[in-house]
Amino acid sequence: MLLREVKTAGRVSGPEQRVGLAEAIRTYTIGGAWQDFADDWKGSLEPGKVADLRVLDGDLLAADPHDIPEMPVVLTVMDGRVVHDTLRD
């Protein structure tokens, strides 16, 4: 979404269809839950909703979009439970 690059060729396909980071995150979280008719119990971090999230070791807003997939995961929470935490391991 951010880059619209063809991975095999490295060229941009539909550059006018690129979206910013905030819109991409919203599409994958709240938008995905809405599409599943499940936005009342997932898709955003709010009391009473399932809490599945990942914390990356890096600044998404400052990072080159090419580098985001390689950022290490430092914390993973599934259904409100910490299942991976490199700071405590």
| CA quadruple 60, 23, 80, 73: dihedral sign | negative
Distance (Å) of CA 42 to CA 8, 10, 66, 75 = 34, 35, 28, 19
Query: In degrees to the nearest 10, what's the CA dihedral of 82, 56, 4, 18?
Result: 90
The pTM (predicted TM-score) of the whole model is 0.78
Q: Confidence class of residue 89 from pLDDT cuts 50, 70 and 90?
A: low
Helix (H, G, I), strand (E, B) or coil at 77: strand
| Domain chopping of the chain, boundaries | 1-44, 51-89
Render pLDDT for 28-83 as a digit per residue (tens, 0 to 9). Answer: 999 999 999 999 999 999 998 988 899 999 999 999 999 999 999 999 998 889 99
User: pLDDT value at position 6?
Assistant: 86
β-strand partners of 12? 5
User: pLDDT value at position 54?
Assistant: 92
Q: Look at strands 53-56 and 73-78 and give their pairing.
A: antiparallel
Walk across the sheet containing 73-78 and list its strands: 53-56, 73-78, 81-85
